[in-house]
Amino acid sequence: MKMFTGIVEDVGTVTALSPLRAGTAITVATNLPMETIAEGDSVAVSGVCLTVARKGAGTIEADVSKETLSKTTLGGMRSGSKVNLERSLTLSGRLGGHIVYGHVDGTGVIREIRPLGEARVFHIQADPSIMKFMVYKGAITVDGVSLTISASRRDGFELAIIPITLERTTLGVARAGERVNLETDIVGKYVLKILEGGRSGVTLDFLKDHGYS
């Protein structure tokens, strides 16, 4: 299974979208070193794990299924759209963010962006099916970027995003009202699975009492 870290390596540009019988072929121009990318490799495109079907001079192309287009922001991409890119993790690589699979759980909507010194606070609204995995100070992947949850609210969650992340990812040009891809922390998914299966002495009330919500 391919894994990522949520540390964006490059911001690419969508240069072409070509219809397929079962989806769309998306071409992205990138400054990633092409000699390190082969056809069949996995690349996270704004948090979505895609397989490189073809490569050119400074471009990669992937075939995206209708299912993926309908459940991620890739369905709304246009020529000129910016996307966060990350090659899959190698055994010799460093895990700078957290374990990310590129399997998007759903999308959220940026409701507000407000300044906090040099940083910006994002308020993102998400579905309850996603919010149940949110933990204060826990990890979340937003458009392929590994981030830390700074607050959990009834109608979503907040992120305090530092300048270097704003500069090196598409979040720096994001606007209120835009949709973003969300992937929750795999650890939280396993914890909830155990609790729902009744195989642990730890309960949801116990976690809430100890600061998890």
Angle at 74 between CA 69 and CA 75, to 5 degrees: 50
**36-93 pLDDT tens trace:** 999 999 999 999 999 999 999 999 999 999 999 999 999 999 999 999 999 998 766 6
Compare 211 and 82 and report the one with higher pLDDT. 82
Percent helix, strand, coil in the chain (nearest 5)? Answer: 20, 40, 35
What is the per-residue pLDDT for 203?
A: 54
The model carries a pTM of: 0.87
| CA angle (82, 89, 107) in 5-degree steps | 45
Tokens representing 17?
């979208």
> Over 60: is that where the pLDDT of 199 sits?
no
**Confidence band for 135, pLDDT divided at 50, 70 and 90:** confident
> pLDDT band for position 94 (50/70/90)?
low
Residue at 82: amino acid letter = K
Domains within the chain, CATH numbers bracketed? 10-87 (2.40.30.20), 106-209 (2.40.30.20)
What's the CA gap between 186 and 160, in Å, rounded? Answer: 21
E-assigned strand segments in 47-105: 48-56, 59-65, 82-87
